[in-house]
Chain A
Amino acid sequence: MVRRVLSLTSGRIALVILTVIALLAVLGPLIAPDNPLATSSDTLAEASGAHWLGTDYLGRDVLSRLLDGSRVSVLGSLEVALTALGVGAIPGILSVYFGRVFEWVTLRLTDTLVALPFLLFAVAVVALLGNGITQAMLVTGVLVSPLFYRVSRAATLAVAQSPYVEAALISGASIGWVVRRHVWVKVLPPIAVALAQTIGVGFVIVSTLTFLGIGVQPPAPTWGGLLASDLGYLTQKPWAPLVPALLIMVTVWACNLFADAIRDVSGEAGRALVNNRKARANRLADTDSAAHGDPAHVHAGGA
């Protein structure tokens, strides 16, 4: 599937952006030009050779704080997505096979979770358990999990009623084997789409919470926190909020682009789309090479 995603321009763009963001999360604190917590007397300085993105209200290097803060955003959004995947996808698949009671209970639980506003709930949990991004994201992941539950359940239901799965079960295959052999393959693409989307949603949630000062204790830098503090000094540095805002926007956009790319190439229709594109590209290449070999065409093209 990765190869098929990479065959799309949108998939390649998204993957490049997401790779850069992932590298920032891993290497950001190492490549930061300054200590992100070190204050100086040079407050609210404009961009310069010494400080590429200027300094903040305490004279700290903004670029270093952005680089250092990327880890919180990436890890937080991954935590949301992976928690939602674990809590939602597995019960979603099993609800088709584990009988009516399990199905009823999980469906009602899912309905309950959907009714809870996850942002407010995350704020409440932080108030209850103390200010920390881990617990906030864990709870958010649980509240987002109905998406995975529904996607995986819908895909499993479609596969479960297919003749070859019924034949396998009648032949004595275990449910576990059927899930591993037939269901998982069919469920994976929609889950991958949901996962990529949820990572994007996770970025928005992490940024929102940290913008509100929730989840991370000062002076730890975060993209949302930088955005919030920059808004207090618009008179002095009107462009400053653009940098963290753009970072958040581009990352979320890349996640959604990646999700779209996965959706476009998954399933039979996706395979057909990619094959058609390849065929079309081959035809164009053939036509092009033929045209380049024709002196008359070269002459006409050069006119």
Chain B
Amino acid sequence: MSGRLTSRSPRTPFRPGRLRAAALGTALATVLVPALSACGGDASTAGGSSTLKWASSYFPAHWDPVVSGSGAQFRELALVYASLTRTDATGKAVPDLAKSWEYNAKGDQITFHLRPNLKFSDGEPVDGAAVKAAIVRAQKQKNSALFGDLTSIKSVDASGLDAVLHLSQVDYQIPQLLGERVLQIASPKAAQSPTKLDQNPVGAGPFTVTQIVPGTKVLLKKNPDYWDAKDIHIDNVELTSAPDAATVVSGLQTGVYNFADIAPSQAEAAKKAGLDVFVQPGFNAANLSLNVNKAPFNNDKVVDAVRYGINRQEFVDKLTFGYGSATNQPFPKGYVAYDPQSANDYAYDPAKAKQLLSEAGYKAGQIKLSLVIPAEDPQAEIVQAQLAKVGITVSIKVDKNWATPFFAKDLTFSLYGTTGRDSAAQTLTAHFGPNGPLNLSSPYEPSGFEAAIAKVRQTPLDSPDYTKVLQAATRAGLQSKALVFTYSSPNLIAKSKSISALPRNPAHIDWTGVTIDSN
């Protein structure tokens, strides 16, 4: 622009100094304007639209919810897909696509009533048939990661906006179960080609996908047909696979992102950078997975030695930077399913661990274990050091293909960290059930667990006995010799101050009512 002014003004003589200044100005403008635009934190909102720029550590590899499963990446998929229910700040199931539901008197049939006039982003109606198709697909699709979660559902009848679920047992957990984690509902038309759906998601959630770069980035825009679109105040979303943990805070500072899940070690840096650090309540719990079908864990005394040899507080002190807490259960303290009666079971006692090993006939150093993990993890090094103190030698083996032998129950000793489930019964069965995916010792299950979990299913969630029954099931599950729980750490999210506070839904990111200040 400056070049044009100087060259076209007939009254302005060409003076070399002014020409140089103009040229310099033009060059600086050419270089700096795009650069500063790219770096500016509010560039995305300059046009009056609000953009969420989310650096995600759980960037989905699969966009078909049936394939993606009920792991932590459900939060990213929930941008696109809605579910029958969702959870509120107390963790209780509340309406989402279903406006209401009711059980029959016996408790083995539940009818969901869907909201009227809803459609998927491809124009297909959201109705009972779509719900039925989603459940059947989750139960039968060859690569489904959800079939184990839906064993209570025998069949589904669809009638207009109603979906009637016939259950194989009395199960009052179904509204908790069919939330964002387990039954995100895709368009049945799009789901006819699961391979295509896996990279081109079509749901009825708050956003629709405009572009996907597999494994790297996804661009989304607000879905005007979402049932609660009036409460979604974000126009666009740029979901990016998070870079190295150490650089996420820099990305937030420079405006490359305005929202990111961060490691506890980065929380202090985020605070110093003037970012909001949101401590999201959740159900995360880490554990040591033991296979009691293989030596030496087929000896109960060796299992108990490991249980007593683990100092949980060391995990908290070294890994959570003040945000975590020790737990010997698959839940953090304070959660409804956390059993206070079991809180002090297997407290750290290295002397007792040594004694148990001796009673089992093992001398110090005689037991040599291979701890197989998917990636380098300080937890493994802590386990190695702690068990070395009681006389068990652990070598750490990083196996990039860890998932295959772990879920095939071929490993002897490993680590796992659950992000929990909305249904506490589902969390318990996943860990302690005979076919639980997180039970490395399948088909082993602790005695009394099956009866205890059946009682949980049979107890309505609003029953005064529910907490007592649920904690009893936890207590029964904790008799399992296959798992040693260590610590719990909440999800930490760093965000720009331009993003308003998030609802404190446990483990969920709820965008309802969230605003991004365009100024």
Binding site for B on A (CB under 8 A): 37-39, 41, 43, 57-59, 127, 131, 213, 217-219, 231-236
Contacts and interface: CB of A to CB of B under 8 A. Distances in A.
A213 B376 contact: yes
Interface residues on B, range: 20 to 34
Contacts of B244: 231
Contacts of B263: 232
A43 B246 CA distance: 18
A236 B265 contact: yes
Interface string B373-389: 00110101110110000
24 contacts: A37-B385, A38-B385, A41-B314, A43-B317, A43-B318, A57-B378, A58-B381, A58-B382, A58-B385, A127-B400, A131-B398, A213-B376, A217-B395, A217-B396, A217-B397, A218-B380, A218-B396, A218-B398, A219-B381, A234-B269, A235-B265, A235-B268, A235-B269, A236-B265
Nearest to A38: B385
Contacts of A236: 265, 268
A218 B376 contact: yes
Contacts of A233: 265
Pairs of residues from A and B, 7 with the lowest C-beta to C-beta distance, nearest first: A235-B269, A219-B381, A39-B385, A213-B376, A231-B246, A218-B396, A235-B268
Contacts of B400: 127
A290 B245 CA distance: 67
Contact of B272 (A58, A127, A235): A235
Interface of B: 244-246, 249, 263, 265-266, 268-269, 272, 314, 317-318, 375-376, 378, 380-382, 384-385, 395-398, 400
A39 B245 CA distance: 23
Contacts of B265: 57, 232-233, 235-236
Nearest to A233: B265
Given A58-B318, A217-B396, A218-B396, A39 B381 contact: yes
A213 B317 contact: no
Given A43-B318, A219-B384, A232 B246 contact: yes
B504 to A, nearest CB: 26
A57 B264 CA distance: 12
B36 to A, nearest CB: 26
A128 B265 CA distance: 33
Given A38-B385, A235-B265, A235-B269, 13 more contacts: A39-B382, A41-B317, A57-B265, A57-B378, A58-B382, A58-B385, A213-B375, A217-B396, A233-B265, A234-B246, A235-B268, A235-B272, A236-B265
B273 to A, nearest CB: 10
Nearest to A212: B376
B403 to A, nearest CB: 15
Contacts of A231: 244, 246
Nearest to B246: A231
A133 to B, nearest CB: 13
Contact of B396 (A43, A58, A59, A219): A219
A165 B350 CA distance: 76
B397 to A, nearest CB: 6
Contact of B318 (A59, A218, A219): A59
Contacts of B380: 218
Q: Choose among B249, B269, B378, B397 the residue with the greatest number of A CB atoms under 10 Å from its CB.
A: B378
B317 A58 contact: no
Contacts of A235: 249, 265-266, 268-269, 272
B396 to A, nearest CB: 5
A16 to B, nearest CB: 35
A147 B46 CA distance: 55
A201 B269 CA distance: 35
Contacts of B376: 213, 218
A217 B269 contact: no
B501 to A, nearest CB: 24
A58 B246 CA distance: 18
A234 B244 CA distance: 12
Contacts of B249: 235
A216 to B, nearest CB: 10
Contacts of B375: 213
